[in-house]
Amino acid sequence: MKENHNKTLTPELKEKLAKIKHLALDMDGTIYLGANLFPFTIDFLDGMEAIGVKHSFLTNNPTKSVADYLHKLEGMGIHATEENMYTTSLAAIDYIRKTYPKAKRLFMLGTPSMVSQFEKAGFEACADDPLDVPDVLVVAFDTTLVYPRLCRAAWWAAQGIPYVATNPDRVCPTDLPVILVDCGSLQKCIEHATGRRPDIVLGKPDPTMLQGIMDRHGLQPEEIAMVGDRIYTDTAMAHNAGAVGVLVLSGETTLETAEKVAEDARTNPDPEFYPPDVIVRDIAELGELIRAAKGL
Of residues 1 and 248, more confidence is placed in 248
Region of 153 on the Ramachandran plot (φ > 0 left; ψ -120 to 50 alpha; else beta)? alpha
Alpha helices per DSSP H over 163-230: 183-194, 208-217
Query: What's the mean pLDDT in 126-145?
Result: 97
| pLDDT tens digits, 30-78 | 999 878 899 999 999 999 999 999 999 998 889 989 999 999 999 999 9
Print burial letters for 237-268: b (CB count within 10 Å at least 16), e (below 16): bbbbbebbbbbbbbbbbeeeebeebbeebeee
CATH number, span 101-201: 3.40.50.1000
CA distance 68 to 65: 5
Q: What is the pLDDT of residue 264?
A: 87
pTM listed for this prediction: 0.83
| pLDDT tens digits, 208-256 | 899 989 998 999 999 999 999 989 889 999 999 999 999 999 988 889 9
Q: What is the pLDDT of residue 175?
A: 66
User: Long-range pairs for 33-39 at CB < 8 Å and ≥24 separation?
Assistant: 33/250, 33/251, 34/175, 37/76, 37/77, 37/78, 38/250, 38/282, 38/283, 38/284
Alpha helices per DSSP H over 129-182: 147-158
Given a contact cutoff of 8 angstroms between Cβ atoms, the answer to whether 214 and 71 are in contact is no
Are 11-60+204-293 and 101-201 the same fold in CATH? yes
Q: What is the mean pLDDT of the chain?
A: 92
Q: Which class for 67: exposed (0-12), middle (13-18), buried (19 or more C-beta within 10 A)?
A: middle
| pLDDT tens digits, 159-188 | 999 999 999 988 887 767 989 999 999 999
Question: What is the fold, at CATH topology level, of the domain defined by 11-60+204-293?
Answer: Rossmann fold (3.40.50)
Is residue 150 predicted with pLDDT exceeding 90? yes
pLDDT tier at 3 (50, 70, 90 boundaries)?
Answer: very low
Q: What type of residue is 258?
A: A
Is residue 6 predicted with pLDDT exceeding 60? no
Q: What residue segments make up the domains of the chain, in order of their start?
A: 11-60+204-293, 101-201
